[in-house]
Amino acid sequence: MARLLVRNADVLVTMDDARREIAGADLLCEDGIITAIGHGLTAPEAEVLDARGCVVTPGLVNTHHHLFQTLTRGVPGGQDALLFGWLSTLYPIWARFTPDHVYTSAVVGLAELALSGCTLTSDHLYLFLNGARLDDSIAAVQEVGVRLLATRGSMSIGQSDGGLPPDSLVEREADILDDCIRVIDRFHDPRPGAMIQVGVAPCSPFSVSRELMRDAALLARDKGVRLHTHLAENDEDVAYSLERFGCRPGQYAEDLGWTGLDVWHAHCVKLDRDEIALFARTGTGVAHCPCSNCRLGSGIAPVRAMRDAGVEVGLGVDGSASNDAGNLVLEARQALLLQRVACGADAIGAREVLEIATRGGAAVLGRSDLGQLVPGMRADIAIWDMTAIASSGAWDKVAALVLSGPTAVRDLLVEGRPVVRDGTLTTLDLPAALDRQAGLLRALMAG
């Protein structure tokens, strides 16, 4: 049996139902599962991690990302554009992506997430050109060692049919559905503790047909997997929905089967009061991506109103073409700051944001086995050294994690296995991965 004992944490943030924070706590995990939390724990032959000076939290959960975009940070022409102009700049670059670009970009993006405390991420891949497949992102996560909910994205309505993407980037709808079935059958693990799950994720209402949205929902329910897309991201998005479909995004989603406990939508910046009530009533989740929303000038998502109404909200860094960082702690800080800009300094606290980043994200991704440090849960654990400069002088270490940092973990455990130790990835030769990424970038920039 593999035993690991985390000892003497300054504060252990459980995120349990009572939101207990335990000072001077120990945590024991055995074969990937948390088996005890308390004081003075002992376990024969256990590996011991000393967490003195540290805050220990559940692993952070990222509910929205496009890992392939880690190769397109800060692209000129896309730096200062709104959503539709930004996409139109990037489509021709992404059109040149091969399996190697998708894989390498995902390795780097996953490494970046892991160093910022992320143990579970979703990925939304919607470009399948030059032989690239969802399998390429999945190969990357198997190397890095965090958990992945890989969603099979798609685009089917090109410019000639009134959509946004160039015709050369879209797929036939029958091929999309066939490939969704292939990747679900090949990779989706429905069991507790799953390292890889698969979801179905047409890219957005402005790049696929009503028929594909409806068929995707039917397929996902038949297979028992989750549904994901972008919704109500900015004013252009809502205007497209009104003009093309004659209704607001919430109505469009509801009509096509895109509400429910097995659905989560990215952004939702422009949801109105009725749409928030719809999401709360149906258990539909939201991936809140504050940095991306700022970067693209999309607006401030009504997170306070959503949470008050009972909508499940998780945090997402979104793709690195629109963030451009992929750091979940920075994302949590931005979520706090942005709600306060909109609603005042007492609108949301550091602990609530930390909750959104951990158990909130796990709930949005349908993982009742993750997001809390409680016996019986899987051992996904982030250990934060609070003795370094970022948090020196902090009176409240849990709040400091969000308010001041650190923005990188000291240690990260996934299923009780070390992925980061003393600030370094144990699973991956990161300099080699960055070299490979740099080579691909040089070739892309050369045209």
Answer yes or no: are the C-beta atoms of 111 and 412 closer than 8 Å.
no
- Closest residue to bound Zn ion by CB: 318
Closest CA to 120 of 405, 288, 316, 323: 316
- For the residues of 352-365, what is the DSSP string, one character each? HHHHIIIIIHHHHT
CB of 126 to Zn ion, least distance (A): 9
Residue 237 or residue 312: which is nearer to Zn ion going by CB?
237
- For the residues of 59-115, what is the DSSP string, one character each? PEEE----GGGGG-TT-TTTTT--HHHHHHHHHHHHTT--HHHHHHHHHHHHHHHHH
d(CA 306, CA 168): 38
Residues that bind Zn ion (CB under 5 A): 318
CB of 136 to Zn ion, least distance (A): 18
Residue 8 or residue 322: which is nearer to Zn ion going by CB?
322
Residue 123 or residue 215: which is nearer to Zn ion going by CB?
123
- For the residues of 365-419, what is the DSSP string, one character each? TT-TTSSS-STTSB--EEEEE-SSGGGTT-S-HHHHHHHT---S-SEEEETTEEE
CB of 428 to Zn ion, least distance (A): 25
Residue 233 or residue 415: which is nearer to Zn ion going by CB?
233
**What angle (nearest 5°) sits at the alpha carbon of residue 46, between those of residues 41 and 47?**
110
**Token couple for 276:** 């928030």
CB of 256 to Zn ion, least distance (A): 19
Exposed/middle/buried for residue 151 (C-beta within 10 Å: 0-12, 13-18, 19+) = buried
CB of 67 to Zn ion, least distance (A): 11
CB of 374 to Zn ion, least distance (A): 31
Number of helices (H), then strands (E), belonging to the chain: the values are: 15, 17
CB of 53 to Zn ion, least distance (A): 37
- Indicate the DSSP class of residue 36: E
- Indicate the DSSP class of residue 269: T
Residue 318 or residue 385: which is nearer to Zn ion going by CB?
318
Residue 229 or residue 404: which is nearer to Zn ion going by CB?
229
Residue 318 or residue 411: which is nearer to Zn ion going by CB?
318
d(CA 8, CA 57): 13
CB of 204 to Zn ion, least distance (A): 8
